[in-house]
Amino acid sequence: MIVRMREQEDPMQALNRGYWTTAVLAGLGFVAGTYWLLNPSAAPNAWWHFALCGLIGIATSIAFVYITQYYTEYRYRPVKSIAAASVTGPATNIIAGFAVALECTALPTFTIGAAIIASYKLGASSGLEHAGLFGTAVATMGMLGTAAYILAMDTFGPITDNAGGIVEMSRQPEEIRRRTDRLDAVGNTTKALTKGYAIGSAALAAFLLFSAYLDEVALLGHPLAAVDIAKPEVFVGGLLGAMLVMWFSALAIGAVTKAAVNVITEVRRQFAADPGILQGTSKPDYGRAVDIVTVGALKEMVAPGLLAVGMPVAVGLVFKAFGVGAEAVAALLMVGTIGGILIATMLNNGGGAWDSAEKFIEAGEYGGKGSPAHKAGVVGDTVGDPFKDTAGPSLHVLIKLLSTVTLVLAPLFV
């Protein structure tokens, strides 16, 4: 009986139970660590302020996990709405999916905002001078306290995906395929939530790095009490930061398009040159297709990389001539970080929702595999893949890279 109950348990529940265990252990560790290390005689109550900051970070990570599950699990309203829209064709699938992608930025934004403000206020009220930023840093570490388990959940996705492919190719019984399909669907959700978690932690870290940039500029003799966007040059710097996120995303998604077109062209060429491939009497040249994808990926990522590094340098040097180089770069960093967090969240969760909608239909809803709804779902998943697998994760890197580049090269802008 016990074995049967365990076999029937939804795998997402088991993963969530493990995550809660990790979060509780991390919380206990933060309370003990702050009591031990952050308990000075000058401020005897400081330790529990920072302990609460760590708990806020852990609570933020839990919130991100469940928010992402809500938007990418096919048990909930967002994914079901995309699947229902697939009945009327690919166009309505894309419209519904994009609406969900835009919607899913709201709750993470509220969560990040509450975490930053609460941890800053707790640090500032600890009794130690200028400890507000340190409180936010402790919250960031709290969010990273569950990183090991999050990484395990991330690897769960590719493993179950490959297992499902092996089961399908080996023509296993339908019962086995149903189990691996459900595991694959859960793996899709875990991949999405790890990306959401990465964006959330990047947002907290970016706030600290932005403050570090202002401190570095002040040490160089150009203190900035605030970034004044009423100055036209500074406003343009912020505008360029928002544009940078869009342009970077376009290059990443465009790289997928070019690689896909080249692979499809090569596959069609091989089919035309050797009809035996379709008949199963000869093998295709797999190496050629793999070579196209590998070389194309390396070449197409050069432009986004140069853009991420070159844009803050160019803005800083150009507006330095107007006497506001450091401030314009601060605006670019601030607006670019905010825009990057929102766009990355939209791309990650939107792509995951499209993928889960397809799997929901494949599970038997709206006609199941081969139905018109399933074909529309495949189109949506094809659109969502470069969102969640290319542009979204790349923006996480862009956020960190912008902060690092501006901080390291701050002397050039003053």
The pLDDT > 90 percentage for the chain reads 39
Question: Is residue 8 scored above 50 in pLDDT?
Answer: yes
Burial label, 406 (beta-carbon count in 10 A; 0-12, 13-18, 19+): buried
Number of C-beta neighbours around residue 282 at 10 A: 11
The rounded mean pLDDT for the chain is: 87
169 or 355: which leads in pLDDT:
355
Structure tokens given for 387: 């969102």
Average pLDDT over residues 344-366: 90
296 or 252: which leads in pLDDT:
252
Query: Any residues with CB less than 8 A from the CB of 260 and at least 6 apart, and which?
Result: none
For 261, the 3-state DSSP assignment is helix
In the DSSP assignment, the letter for residue 87 is G
Q: Report the alpha-carbon distance of residue 124 to residue 111 in Å, rounded.
A: 20
| C-alpha closest to that of 364 among 83, 52, 1 | 83
Q: Report the alpha-carbon distance of residue 104 to residue 187 in Å, rounded.
A: 19
Whole-angstrom CA distances from 84 to 78, 88, 326, 357 are 10, 8, 50, 9
| pLDDT tens, position by position, 92-142 | 999 999 999 999 999 999 999 999 999 999 999 888 888 888 999 999 999
pLDDT score recorded for residue 400: 84
- Contact status, residue 217 vs residue 410, Cβ threshold 8 Å: yes
Burial label, 197 (beta-carbon count in 10 A; 0-12, 13-18, 19+): buried
| pLDDT tens, position by position, 147-202 | 888 888 888 878 887 887 788 778 788 778 778 877 877 877 787 778 878 888 88
| C-alpha closest to that of 149 among 106, 190, 205, 107 | 190
pTM: predicted TM-score of the whole model, two decimal places? 0.86
Q: Where are the domains of the chain?
A: 2-413
| C-alpha closest to that of 67 among 28, 100, 38, 34 | 100
End-to-end CA distance of the chain: 71
Any idea which residue has 């869009």 for tokens?
246
Q: Report the alpha-carbon distance of residue 20 to residue 18 in Å, rounded.
A: 5
For 128, the 3-state DSSP assignment is coil
Least confident of 19-28, 286-295, 327-336, 390-399: 286-295
Banded model confidence at residue 3, pLDDT cuts 50, 70, 90: very low
Q: Which amino acid, one-letter code, is at 48?
A: W
| C-alpha closest to that of 256 among 356, 347, 377, 160 | 347
For the chain, percent helix, then strand, then coil, each to nearest 5?
85, 0, 15
Most confident of 155-169, 271-285, 342-356: 342-356
The pLDDT > 70 percentage for the chain reads 98
pLDDT score recorded for residue 132: 87
Structure tokens given for 131: 């400890």
Banded model confidence at residue 298, pLDDT cuts 50, 70, 90: confident
pLDDT score recorded for residue 5: 37
To 10 degrees, what angle do helices 11-37 and 147-169 make? Answer: 160
Q: Report the alpha-carbon distance of residue 263 to residue 254 in Å, rounded.
A: 14
Q: Which amino acid, one-letter code, is at 89?
A: G
Whole-angstrom CA distances from 340 to 58, 111, 116, 199, 295 are 23, 16, 17, 9, 27
Banded model confidence at residue 4, pLDDT cuts 50, 70, 90: very low
| pLDDT tens, position by position, 199-256 | 888 888 888 888 888 888 988 888 887 888 889 999 999 999 999 999 999 998 988 8
- Contact status, residue 337 vs residue 244, Cβ threshold 8 Å: no
In the DSSP assignment, the letter for residue 231 is S
Number of C-beta neighbours around residue 207 at 10 A: 23
What DSSP string describes 395-406?
HHHHHHHHHHHH
In the DSSP assignment, the letter for residue 9 is S
| pLDDT tens, position by position, 327-345 | 999 999 999 999 999 999 9
